[in-house]
Amino acid sequence: MPRRILQGIVVSDKGDKTLIVRVEKNVMHPLYKKNIKKHSRYATHDPDNKYKTGDMISIIESKPISKTKKWIVSEQPA
């Protein structure tokens, strides 16, 4: 099964080797057929502490690293 790759903006880098990444997506309302913006926040593993708040990055799904971290920073540019 291929691993999912998402792009988002770093909203928090306060944890050691941990980033909180906000990923936005557009979904259509099933009844009203209007596009709505939704977002999700993912705890992401950043082993080098390279990225700061406001950076646009790509994240890739991985095996669980901790209770909440199941994503890692992808090495490819965003």
Beta 56-61 vs 35-45: how paired, if at all? unpaired
CATH architecture of structural domain 5-73: Beta Barrel (2.40)
pLDDT of residue 19: 96
Q: Residue 36 has which token pair?
A: 């709505």
pLDDT of residue 77: 58
pLDDT of residue 76: 62
Write out the E strands in the chain: 5-12, 18-28, 35-45, 56-61, 71-73
- As a whole number of angstroms, the distance between CA 54 and CA 20 comes to 11
Residue with the two structure tokens 């909440």: 68
| Closest of 69, 39, 44 to residue 55, by C-alpha | 44
pLDDT of residue 20: 98
pLDDT of residue 75: 75
What is the full per-residue pLDDT of the chain (78 aa) written as tens digits?
Answer: 789 999 999 999 999 999 999 999 999 999 999 999 999 999 999 999 999 999 999 999 999 999 999 999 997 655
